[in-house]
Structure 1
Amino acid sequence: MSAATITSKGQITIPADVRKALSVNAGDRVEFVSLEPGKFLFVVAKTPVTDLKGLFGKPKKTVTIDEMNAAIAAKGAEAR
């Protein structure tokens, strides 16, 4: 089991064996996902957003930017 110490600035150094196992390097992004109080999942976030293209298939209806802005404004007005 690998361990790390938190600095006074809240930083940690990920142990070399963990970095190697996760294939992460300097500059890569990671996320901390809360599973339950006091327990987090450490996830490598290296997948570019462009890889999500087509994940949900083709949209049934295309929407213009003006239609999107109108929908956002309408929902914002409802919240007030």
Structure 2
Amino acid sequence: MRRGKEMGIESKITSKGQTTIPIEVRDYLKIGAGDRIGYEFVKGKVVLVPKNRSALDFAGVLFEPDRAPVSVETMNEAIGEVISDRYEHSHDRD
């Protein structure tokens, strides 16, 4: 692994399509052996997304001091609507 001028950190891909994720990236993402990562396409780039996160890692991430509390039922309803919308949109491409 070495630092590239434009990309920051880079690594080679083997003939089998494998690469080693540099230690700086693993440390930044807090991932290690056995963890899973996802790949997302974002505006012409591929983003690595750690998939082994504990619910505690997200504690407070949605906190807004002036927002009124929301019930679990309301949250479940909102999640259901988003899932339904995504399902419908995924079939629009067919």
TM-score by length of 2: 0.48
Gaps of 5+ in 2: 1-7, 56-70, 78-94
Equivalent AA in structure 2 for residue 47 of structure 1: R
Distance 1:47 1:13 in 2: 21
Compute the RMSD of aligned alpha carbons: 2.1
CA offsets 1:12-50 (integer angstroms, 9 cap, x no match): 10011111111111110000001144x1111111136xx
Q: How does 1:44-63 map to 2 (within 5 A)?
A: 44-47=50-53, 51=55, 57-58=72-73
- For the residue of structure 2 that corresponds to 1:46, the secondary structure is coil
| Letter of the structure 2 residue corresponding to residue 20 of structure 1 | D
Structure 1 unaligned residues grouped into runs of 5+:
61-80
Which aligned segments of 4 or more residues in structure 1 are displaced greater than 3 angstroms? none
Match of 2:46 among 40, 45, 48: 40
Who is 2:63 aligned against?
none
Identify the structure with bigger relative contact order (alpha carbons < 8 Å, sequence gap 6+).
1
Larger radius of gyration: 1
Number of residue pairs the alignment of both structures matches: 53
Percent of residue pairs identical: 34
Quote the Cα distance in structure 1 between the aligned partners of 2:20 and 2:29.
14
Give the match's secondary structure for 1:7.
coil
Deviation at 1:4, TM superposition (A): 0.9
Q: Which residue of 2 aligns with 1:9?
A: 16
CA–CA separation in structure 1 for the residues paired with 2:32 and 2:21: 10
